[in-house]
Structure 1
């Protein structure tokens, strides 16, 4: 839920690790955030990674047990603290070191696995500061909509929002359109 709220993308098997002693999921590589995954050459179509293999790892109850309850509780905590979250992220509006947008060439390099990290995540000289701030403002508006559950123009309950996100994440139509390197079949 947190990854969905901040628009975390590029969630493939190399960027999601599992702690061998605690079985906790650990996310790394936060270079694609604030829904920048939607502008990749092969856009990301799911809110978070929830493939069949991940669901199988949840045991007999699958998504209908602890997973759904944890998603709903997490979303509830996020909604209760939305002003704090937005205040913290508003600082990034004026951070000259954070790139709110990625150029098409950077997006291509990310999906092709380029090792030139500075090229991918460095500042983009093509974008003016004003344009970057407008992108940041749009990202914060979208984040606020997610936190309020008012996506797609209608307000939804926490359970309704979580249910919609789970359905989108498991939808074969969304999964089949993902970048092949993301390995959605796993």
Structure 2
């Protein structure tokens, strides 16, 4: 990237936009527990720094619940860390993820988020069940499935509640409310996101990933 951009100003603008875009994509990956973020699934524009991820949807187990088996919450490899530097990771990425988490759990947005996620999981589970030739069909009874509407609604609601719970645990507002009643020394309200970033960068977790996560691969 240093050889392709015109000047230091372009590099600074690209890094800032790319870091924010990566932070939002990482937040979505953690929120919906989307894995398998290999380099061929992450596309970005050199002139804008915007990111587009392909095959970006959660996987489900046999009971229709989100399934996630990766030791890292999202893709933030050593190559990315070296490109953004410590200031980019701790400054831009962490702050952008905190802002996103705080925005979606605010009182004005929480109900909207719940309904949007409910519609998302309804369509996802219907589509997923119909793609499984020998698996459990999770569609409502009107589509000829053995699953009744009440059970299907329960699966959708459970997935939504799990997503909301994950966001709430890292939202600065929730962490600041915990500090008010705590007797321990005050800690950063960004510690929820900071712990996720540390988990994504820990060599112990990265060594358990596919070879496409190793430093020799880009990004």
TM-score computed with the length of structure 2 as normaliser: 0.61
RMSD of aligned residue pairs (Cα, Å):
2.9
Matches within 5 A, 1:145-164: 145-149=165-169, 156-157=175-176, 159-164=190-195
- The yes-or-no answer on 1:51 pairing with 2:77 is yes
Structure 1 position 183 matched with structure 2 position 202: no
Between Structure 1 and Structure 2, the one with more helix by share is 2
SS in 2 for 1:17: strand
Specify the structure having the higher radius of gyration (Cα).
Answer: 2
- Corresponding position of 2:131: 122
Q: How many residues align?
A: 158
- Match of 1:30, SS state, is coil
Of the three residues 96, 102, 116, the one matched with 1:76 is 102
Q: Which runs of 5+ in 1 are unaligned?
A: 101-120
Q: Structure 2: give runs of 5+ residues left out of the alignment.
A: 1-26, 139-146, 177-188
Work out whether 1:64 is the aligned partner of 2:90. yes
User: Which secondary structure state, in structure 2, belongs to the residue aligned with residue 20 of structure 1?
Assistant: coil
Structure 1 residue 99 and structure 2 residue 123: aligned?
no
- How far apart in 2 are the matches of 1:183 and 1:76? 29
Q: Is the 8 A contact 1:4 1:48 kept in 2?
A: yes
Distance 1:142 1:83 in 2: 15
Q: CA deviation at 1:51?
A: 0.8
Q: Over residues 110-153 of structure 1, what are the superposed CA-to-partner deviations in whole Å (9 max), with x where a residue is unaligned?
A: xxxxxxxxxxx9245421324765543332221011122179xx
Mapped partners of 1:165, 1:83: distance in 2? 25
Q: Classify 1:135/1:175 alpha carbon distance in 2 versus 1 (closer, same or farther; 3 Å).
A: farther
User: C-alpha deviations, 1:166-185, integer Å up to 9, x for none?
Assistant: 111111111111133x4343
- Partner SS for 1:99: helix
Aligned to 1:29: 55
